[in-house]
Structure 1
């Protein structure tokens, strides 16, 4: 007889906003077409448009049931329901030096200096299950680790591997080019994240000038963001500099390309600046719970521009910032911890960089990747 599935409780999503926001017009990658050479070719062409123009896109038909997604949201909610003193037991050592696996409490950044309002963003990161990382978690997470591991691994096989294949096809590289540097069983700083943005009062939101978080790029390859209906994510257009809202779409993942892919492609793939804004008024009364996965190349991969791609050669994308400046090219591990440490310092006071280094590493362009 089948083993009964343990009850995690329900997770009730709030209603979508009825406000008419300035939504970004993003393309959708339908992985239901991935099974044929013709489908792959079509999807690769669509992906090029997404990674060149917006850096954000939707993915649908990725073969993971909504039930499994909802259970992860439920786990995240139950984690944040436990007392703060219990969560604080799982703060990583070396947090200010770039460590990030475990619990990162809110209140570490001053968002509005006059009033002293601090961020209310909490993060819980769960690293890979490949033997390279210790897993010590509170009971609600520990007791469900097998299911969490299965979910995390399925994101590789059902979402990330196909996206890496499509990107390789788009760049006229062997299909396994990117999957070979993103293998689950080799050490990298991938992690699954439960993320909570606790609400502010209407008066506090006015003081925050419409923003809960500053613009930034992600440092890895792809970030997967599961659909939840509280509108807050905004992206910055590469051409106009305008900020657009990202609309939650039923049955999809929102995916963005990140720093590592931009470095590896000499800037051909865009790492898009994005931020978290104050939600519209009809959603400001609730907390915002996020479920994300951050994919990164193996730790020992140098972030040098790929020289074997005919597409990059034709586009003149043959150097990234490090190579153009004559500075050493970092590995993925070096980039990860340098940027994490820099962000920890810079985010103490939003917009104040006087206490932080102007650059993470020699040759790094802060204006692009902040």
Structure 2
């Protein structure tokens, strides 16, 4: 059989890894290769459960892709920005405010309320539906769609579903409890993103206090971030409220818990609070390219506690809220429509602002 020739794309050269002594977050590492045995799965279920309960974050290694395959995806990730002319990009801008959907481009400087002091974002995105053929794409992206689709399916079925099985076991539920409500076929319950941050003028760094994106939680079930070299992501520790840097691990994933999983677990799995800040001095001036998979439960899933979980029952978390629980689709669309454009109001806690979406408070952190 002849070898398959992949479309040629420019190689993305990442920044050198920082050598600065930063206060790194101490995150659990989930080695997915151990999930192949019963003993390994039992061990990983406890590790994943405890990590999501205490921090909402963990690393994943040995996920199944080689470093060269990951590098190819980062090469592809730059194409929507470097390979598509600005005029063509305008035809594919996402209708975030009206439709509550991310599919397409989020242009530079679209967001203001989620940074500080009137400074707008320096981040551009290109977002895909899980089904890459759901909408049309710019010409330069079209030859790459088979690879992108295969990569999205890998994220969903080989990574997300494997982790969901572990997290279900952690709640002492059947393994398929979460995978059953996270179908690949439903077009609108998750999206895939290429994202690039640009360096900012010093005047904007001063005005914003070096904050690139306020601390927040993600709306969905879980977020899969493919680790990249430029240090800028920080997580807020749930115990001491201190911010710590997320360290790059080559060819690893950084996975965080989203609000939807928090609601289903009655708060036992904690939404990860994270923000983006100016990189350390030896990485300033570099562009920061990211690859993400944002997973949500099926749109018709009510976001209320899984009452049958013995873990939730023992912790008094199994009683649904008195108010009607939002459906996943309602929650997801409302969060997308409001993000970065809604008015945030000061809360009683210092450094915390909030907005209300479907009657539920959503907090943001400086």
Shift of residue 84, structure 1, vs aligned partner: 1.9
**Mapping of 1:352-367 within 5 angstroms?**
358-362=355-359, 364-367=360-363
Going from structure 1 to structure 2, the CA distance change for 1:162 and 1:358 (only over 3 Å counts) comes to closer
Say whether 1:278 aligns with 2:258: no
Shift of residue 179, structure 1, vs aligned partner: 0.9
Gaps of 5+ in 1: none
Which residue in 2 is equivalent to 1:299?
299
Which residue in 1 is equivalent to 2:337?
341
CA distance in 1 between partners of 2:277 and 2:14 (Å)? 19
Say whether 1:180 aligns with 2:185: no
Shift of residue 351, structure 1, vs aligned partner: 6.5
Which residue in 2 is equivalent to 1:209?
209
CA distance in 2 between partners of 1:96 and 1:196 (Å)? 24
Going from structure 1 to structure 2, the CA distance change for 1:351 and 1:330 (only over 3 Å counts) comes to closer
Shift of residue 9, structure 1, vs aligned partner: 2.6
CA distance in 2 between partners of 1:95 and 1:359 (Å)? 16
Contact 1:227 1:250 in 2 (8 A): yes
Contact 2:97 2:338 in 1 (8 A): no
CA distance in 2 between partners of 1:252 and 1:102 (Å)? 26
Going from structure 1 to structure 2, the CA distance change for 1:164 and 1:112 (only over 3 Å counts) comes to closer
Higher strand share: 2
CA distance in 2 between partners of 1:49 and 1:27 (Å)? 9
**Mapping of 1:1-370 within 5 angstroms?**
1-81=2-82, 82-93=84-95, 95-110=97-112, 111-113=115-117, 116-129=118-131, 134-319=134-319, 323-324=320-321, 326-346=322-342, 358-362=355-359, 364-367=360-363
Shift of residue 92, structure 1, vs aligned partner: 2.5
Shift of residue 313, structure 1, vs aligned partner: 0.6
Deviation beyond 6 Å, 4+ runs, structure 1: 350-353
Gaps of 5+ in 2: 348-352
Number of equivalences: 357
Cα root mean square deviation, aligned: 2.2
* Alpha-carbon displacement from aligned partner over 1:318-341 (angstroms, at most 9, x marks no partner): 24xxx43x2211110010011222
* Alpha-carbon displacement from aligned partner over 1:152-173 (angstroms, at most 9, x marks no partner): 0011222111101101111111
Using structure 2 for the length normalisation, give the TM-score: 0.92
